[in-house]
Amino acid sequence: MSDTLKGKIALVAGATRGAGRGIAAALGAAGATVYVTGRSTRQQRSELDRPETIEETAELVTAAGGQGIAAVVDHLEPEQVRALVQRIDREQGRLDVLVNDIWGGERMFSWDQKLWEHSLDKGLRILRLAIDTHIVTSHYALPLMIREPGGLVVEMTDGTADYNAAHYRISFFYDLAKTSVNRMAFAQAQELASHGMTAVSLTPGWLRSEMMLDAFGVTEANWRDALDRQPHFAISESPTYVGRAVVALAADPEAGRWNGRSLSSGQLAQIYGFTDVDGSRPDAWRYMVEVQDAGKPADATGYR
């Protein structure tokens, strides 16, 4: 995928860690100029209190072969987002790819509390982080994008529309957040189609994010050591995998065939032919239905 996006301008909103960082780096490896946003810097951390910084993500983009530009932005603050888009317009005069990956609610939702038991403040904060941020960002970024046809909007979520429609996702607030993002992509697709643009929602599978690796006490280099603790982790994927999915979409001259669709990294790998860093093609959501949810023993054979 080297240089397939050379000359393209991308914004990955929420790129400090996880899928956002993986997507930004993959876009850089394809030659794009990538604006990456987040709230964690070398001087100050967000409430997640993690060591990853937005400056590091920008450096990874540049090291991969693109140009990484870090911007400290709180996407709940409209004026900060407006200023960011104005900066991109001033410096580049265009925006070709928008990835809405803002989240930050990992430590706010409960795994077992019902709606009436869950902290209301945390629940509403989750919805603001997962939904309002995406709306604010698209509101200001889309006028710049529609100047030229061929743009791509990617709404990042957890779970395909079909899977989320049939399965309760952990808790009320998490469920509502992740299903809403799928619908947001569909709605934007209807409004952008006449401008020659494509909007999709995209989900990774079981992501080996920095937080997930820490939770299992492993690193990307030895992640399989976690299988003794959670055998289904065998279907997991690196953030690079979903990053390559975004690159494949952005480089596809016929990406409009996906407009309004809910997609997964594993699904797109089968079509575009990209792999994860280990050369495999994990298909996590098919595995979830056919193996994990079906109560079968963990076995990723035929799924990666």
The reply to whether 287 falls in a domain is: no
| pLDDT tens-digit series, residues 103-134 | 987 888 888 999 999 999 999 999 999 999 99
Q: Cβ(40)–Cβ(54) under 8 Å?
A: yes
Query: Is 304 a domain residue?
Result: no
CA distance 196 to 200: 14
Catalytic residue among 174, 241, 287, 303: 174
Lowest-pLDDT choice from 32-41, 42-51, 227-236, 238-247: 42-51
* pLDDT computed for residue 136 by the predictor: 98
Examine residue 91 and state whether it is found in any structural domain, yes or no. yes
- Given this model, what pLDDT does residue 42 score? 84
Mean pLDDT of 36-46: 88
41 with 14: CB under 8 angstroms?
no
Residue 47 pLDDT > 80, yes or no?
Answer: no
Calculated CA dihedral for residues 49, 50, 56, 61, nearest 10 degrees? -120
Residue 145 clears pLDDT 90, i.e. is over it: yes
> How is the chain split among helix, strand and coil, in percent rounded to 5?
50, 10, 40
- Number of domains present in the structure of the chain: 1
Asked if pLDDT for residue 58 goes beyond 90, the answer is: yes
Task: Give the mean model confidence (pLDDT) for residues 225-248.
Answer: 97
Cα-Cα-Cα-Cα dihedral sign, residues 38, 151, 201, 133: positive
Give catalytic status of residue 35 as yes or no: no
Segments forming the whole domain that contains residue 108:
9-212+240-281
Q: What is the pTM of this model?
A: 0.95
Lowest-confidence range among 37-46, 88-97, 154-163, 218-227?
37-46
In sequence order, the 6+-apart residues with CB closer than 8 A to the CB of 162 are: 262
User: In the prediction, which pLDDT does 45 show?
Assistant: 83
Q: pLDDT grade, residue 1 (50/70/90)?
A: low
pLDDT beyond 80 at 203: yes
CA dist list (Å): 45 to 41, 48, 125: 6, 7, 18
254 lies in some domain: yes
Locate 230 and state its tokens: 């959670």
- Provide φ and ψ at 239, rounded to 5°: -60, -20
- Write b or e for each residue in 237-261: b if 16 or more Cβ atoms lie within 10 A of its Cβ, otherwise e: bbbbbbbbbbbbbbbbeebbebbbb
CB count, 10 Å around CB of 3?
12
Q: Is residue 272 part of a domain?
A: yes
The answer to the question of residue 223 being in a domain is no
Confidence check: pLDDT of 43 > 90: no
What is the layout of strands, in order, in the sheet containing 262-264? 67-72, 33-38, 9-13, 97-100, 152-156, 198-203, 262-264
Asked if residue 228 is part of any domain, the answer here is no
**Per-residue pLDDT at 277 exceeds 90:** yes
CATH number at residue 208: 3.40.50.720
For residue 35, being part of any structural domain is answered with yes
